[in-house]
Amino acid sequence: MKIIKKIIHVSALAAFLSTMSVSQAAAPPIELSSDVQELVAVVDANGKSQFKAVAADEIVPGDRILYTTTFKNNGDKASDKIVISNPIPNNTRFLSGTATGENSVITYSVDNGVSWGSVQSLKVKLKDGTVRAAEASDYTNIRWEYRRSLQPTEAKAVSFQAQLL
């Protein structure tokens, strides 16, 4: 019997980065950069299990992945109302509670970015017509609304975690 092991190379997995976007009300140019890392479980000296970010050369189903988007103001004036939108990559499942972003309001979409809402407000319509509260596995996109002015040369980062299916 032949066993096939599904291995995803990060270059293929990181294809989602081409669809991330930023919008802003002010004119200074915002540069986006991104990083994809694998999170591996390690046990510290006290016997406590933690996750450590390492290079994601190859990942297999079940692996935990950290997606980080850094945004930098390359202009000479402060930039306001910056919004970062990232799709949740295909063949992954968003891990609830892992989206982070300092001074950001985080919202989610269950319809590929057509509409946005908080975790508590999102609903999905099932095939039988019933409606239920959305679960993390229903999310298709994540959006961060940065609520401060980003000064010239200043950079900040937002991130989320997913599991490869």
pLDDT score of 106 more than 80: yes
Average pLDDT of the chain? 88
Mean pLDDT of 42-59: 92
What's the rounded Cα separation, in Å, for the pair 89 and 52? 21
pLDDT in tens, 121-135: 999 999 999 999 999
What's the rounded Cα separation, in Å, for the pair 71 and 90? 23
What's the rounded Cα separation, in Å, for the pair 147 and 156? 12
Could you tell me which residue, 5 or 105, shows the higher pLDDT? 105
pLDDT band, very low/low/confident/very high, at 94 (cuts 50, 70, 90) = very high
Question: How many angstroms separate the first and last alpha carbons of the chain?
Answer: 23
What pLDDT, on a 0 to 100 scale, did the predictor assign at position 23? 67
User: What CATH number did the domain enclosing 132 receive?
Assistant: 2.60.40
Could you tell me which residue, 115 or 44, shows the higher pLDDT? 115
What's the rounded Cα separation, in Å, for the pair 146 and 151? 12
Q: Is 121 domain-assigned?
A: yes
Domain extent at residue 12? 8-164
Q: Is 159 domain-assigned?
A: yes
Q: Is 3 domain-assigned?
A: no
pLDDT in tens, 24-49: 554 569 999 999 999 999 998 899 99
Strand order in the sheet with 104-109: 21-23, 82-87, 141-146, 104-109
Helix (H) or strand (E) holding 120: none
Q: Tell me how many domains the chain contains.
A: 1
The fraction of the chain above a pLDDT of 70, given in percent, is 83
Q: Is 2 domain-assigned?
A: no
